[in-house]
Structure 1
Amino acid sequence: MGGDISANHLLTYLEKSIKSADSIDIIVSFLMESGVRLLLPALKNALDRGAAIRLLTGNYLGITQPSALTLLKYELEDRVCVHLYQEKNRSFHPKAYIFHYADNSEIYVGSSNISRSALTKGIEWNYRFSEKDDEQSYHLFFEEFEDLFYNHSVEVTDKVLKDYAKNWKRPALQKDMERYQEKLPAGDGRLAPVFPRGAQIDALYALKKSREEGDRKALIHAATGIGKTYLAAFDSIEYKKVLFVAHREEILKQAAESFKRVRPQ
């Protein structure tokens, strides 16, 4: 993550709670790739030890990126239940992280959505309390989450995700937000880690679903600048041998460097 994530950032506290919770409920007004990527390792570990995870988000100002939803489904598959708030005539701006344990529950309520800035470097105010500290307030929050999750949202199925992506327009303010989200220096002279982004995530998820359905061939058609070589490298990670074909030696040399960054071994 680099040296920008201190012990006092919300991400650090959330990781500790995720590590020991039996079940996790998250409600945020929007998701961004940068924040999802930060939480993925902890969420994966929680799922692997049997924790249940529900996540409810919305399309507040159109900020929730379709690729952030796809990244969740690509990495966590159907093991996490993701819902999208659906009421059009009512604003949706909550941010809360609820953790359930064997003998207690706790909740973080405040201003942090799931983005890199909100979880690490941004100025955010969040307050944590447990069910034992204030049982009445805790249940008000949790019961509202339950109502929104079951009665005012839809599960993000592949069809819902496809429709959302088709109708989504990148908001103008997102350009400013993204400046603070990604590409922070590693701080030790090494190249920054490379991750699939945007349309690459969509293509990787489509390839994964295609393979699950038994297909053995696929064609990805993408515009210049999408990063098709990196996409090929990401898609090849599970394979021992890869054949990369190009019509010029220069392209092969450039591709070799891209593959080395994704597959250092």
Structure 2
Amino acid sequence: MLFIKFYYFIMIKTVMKPCINLLECIDSGVRAVKIAVAYVKRSGVNRFSEFLQNTKECLIITSLDFGITELEGLKELKRLGCNVYLYNGGNEFHPKVYILDYGYKKIAVIGSSNLSEGAITGKNIEFNLIVEEDEIVREAEVLINKLLSESDPVTDDLISQLEKNGYEKIRRAVYDKPGKVILSILRNRQRYCEEFVKLYNEIRQHKERGKMAGLRKKSHEMGINKVACDLISKGIDVGDEVGSDITVYAGKSKIRIKVQGMVLPNNPARVYDLDFDYFIIVVVTDLNSADYFIIERNEVERLIKEGLIKYKKGSEKYGWIPRKVYEKYKIDLDDLVNKLREAKLSRA
């Protein structure tokens, strides 16, 4: 019995070894690698690249969860000849599994290290196990193959779309969202921004011809898409459809935003009802600049009581807010975003 326990201890010690610094636990001569890690950073790829130089096969599955993965890291992996995939299943992606094939043996490194410099060099506090036991290595490979079936390839076109839609700009602002949601947010941003440009150019052509009559609805749609485009660019998710207004969700609560879009800077704004939390007036001066004015609902109510929002006789459906009244509520985009973030936190 004592011999059996001793043999079992020696066997476990032989097939499993602790590995704190991942780089020091990998021998040279790796012929193929299969990796599933939650996050990839350029710094980690640079340090790991020596093991990828002469590999015949390199497969890496990662994610965009919480905006931690860097596009430069994905691009560098592809440059090194790796087949890179983004997990697109329904769960958050959090494995750290490295399968290394030396030809004469396969090992798996399983633990806490993502593909970042801090995680694989010992700068972070990490812990991994080198596993040589064939059955466990096979199970790890089965897992990676299953994850591969639930993943999408990282193509040059996908990277181009992520760059165009501002992934690097917003990734720190979406730290609480899984990759599937981040991709949806980026697609929405593209749609809202493109629709804004289309409507702006259409209105500008009418403006140049001096034919602005009947364009109030289009100006409103332009303003809605401009606000949605700008908010998403700053990491504020406005959902898949903005409709006639914008809703920002804060937990189970929601922040309702009424938008008035304009291209003529001195025109009064219209307020139709008080079914909102914030009334935003956006005056678009050109494709790249706009003035924002934001009035909270209780402030609109005060302005109505004081007679500063004028109702035309015989037209009680809406009130007019003169420029001289709303101009004191001017706010820059970053302050607007901070205001909405504070409101989200207070309601979450």
TM-score, length-scaled by structure 1: 0.53
Provide the C-alpha distance between the structure 2 equivalents of 1:13 and 1:86, rounded to a whole number of angstroms.
Answer: 30
DSSP 3-state at the match of 1:123: coil
Please, which of 70, 77, 101 is the counterpart of residue 72 of structure 1?
A: 77
Provide the C-alpha distance between the structure 2 equivalents of 1:26 and 1:126, rounded to a whole number of angstroms.
Answer: 14
Q: Is the 8 A contact 2:66 2:171 kept in 1?
A: no
Q: Is the alpha carbon distance of 1:115 and 1:157 closer, same or farther for their aligned partners in structure 2, counting shifts above 3 Å?
A: same
Correspondences of 1:139-150 after superposition (within 5 Å) = 139-149=138-148
Match of 2:258 in 1: none
Provide the C-alpha distance between the structure 2 equivalents of 1:172 and 1:116, rounded to a whole number of angstroms.
Answer: 22
Match of 2:87 in 1: 85
DSSP 3-state at the match of 1:122: coil
Provide the C-alpha distance between the structure 1 equivalents of 2:70 and 2:96, rounded to a whole number of angstroms.
Answer: 17
Q: Which amino acid aligns with 2:36?
A: I
DSSP 3-state at the match of 1:138: helix
DSSP 3-state at the match of 2:45: helix
Provide the C-alpha distance between the structure 1 equivalents of 2:40 and 2:30, rounded to a whole number of angstroms.
Answer: 22
Match of 1:31 in 2: 40
When Rg is computed on C-alpha atoms for both structures, the one with the higher figure is 2
Q: Which amino acid aligns with 2:107?
A: E
DSSP 3-state at the match of 1:20: coil
Shift of 1:173: 9.5
Q: Is the alpha carbon distance of 1:61 and 1:105 closer, same or farther for their aligned partners in structure 2, counting shifts above 3 Å?
A: same
Q: Is the alpha carbon distance of 1:161 and 1:106 closer, same or farther for their aligned partners in structure 2, counting shifts above 3 Å?
A: same
Shift of 1:160: 1.5
DSSP 3-state at the match of 2:142: helix
DSSP 3-state at the match of 1:98: strand
How many residues get paired? 153
**Matched residues, percent identical?**
29
Q: Which amino acid aligns with 1:103?
A: Y
Correspondences of 1:130-145 after superposition (within 5 Å) = 130=132, 133=133, 135-145=134-144
DSSP 3-state at the match of 1:92: coil
Correspondences of 1:165-176 after superposition (within 5 Å) = 165=163, 166=165, 168=167, 169-171=170-172
Q: Which amino acid aligns with 1:146?
A: N
Shift of 1:72: 2.3
Match of 1:231 in 2: none
Match of 2:62 in 1: 57
Q: Is the alpha carbon distance of 1:105 and 1:153 closer, same or farther for their aligned partners in structure 2, counting shifts above 3 Å?
A: same
Q: Is the alpha carbon distance of 1:139 and 1:42 closer, same or farther for their aligned partners in structure 2, counting shifts above 3 Å?
A: closer
Shift of 1:146: 0.8
Match of 2:107 in 1: 106
Match of 2:50 in 1: 41
Provide the C-alpha distance between the structure 2 equivalents of 1:161 and 1:129, rounded to a whole number of angstroms.
Answer: 34
Shift of 1:154: 1.2
Match of 1:124 in 2: 126
Provide the C-alpha distance between the structure 2 equivalents of 1:24 and 1:147, rounded to a whole number of angstroms.
Answer: 16
Q: Which amino acid aligns with 2:68?
A: I
Match of 1:158 in 2: 156
Match of 1:20 in 2: 29
CA displacement 1:84-111 (0-9 Å, x = unmatched) = 1112x31100001101233321000000
RCO comparison, higher one (Cα < 8 Å, 6+): 1
Provide the C-alpha distance between the structure 1 equivalents of 2:23 and 2:104, rounded to a whole number of angstroms.
Answer: 24
Shift of 1:172: 5.3
Provide the C-alpha distance between the structure 1 equivalents of 2:91 and 2:174, rounded to a whole number of angstroms.
Answer: 21
> Aligned-pair RMSD on alpha carbons?
2.1
DSSP 3-state at the match of 1:106: strand
CA displacement 1:13-54 (0-9 Å, x = unmatched) = 23x2xx22221111100101111111123312x24xxx2111
DSSP 3-state at the match of 2:171: coil
Provide the C-alpha distance between the structure 2 equivalents of 1:41 and 1:100, rounded to a whole number of angstroms.
Answer: 15
Q: Is the 8 A contact 2:20 2:127 kept in 1?
A: no
Give the gaps of 5 or more residues in structure 1: 1-6, 175-265
Provide the C-alpha distance between the structure 2 equivalents of 1:54 and 1:112, rounded to a whole number of angstroms.
Answer: 17
CA displacement 1:180-234 (0-9 Å, x = unmatched) = xxxxxxxxxxxxxxxxxxxxxxxxxxxxxxxxxxxxxxxxxxxxxxxxxxxxxxx
Q: Which amino acid aligns with 2:86?
A: L
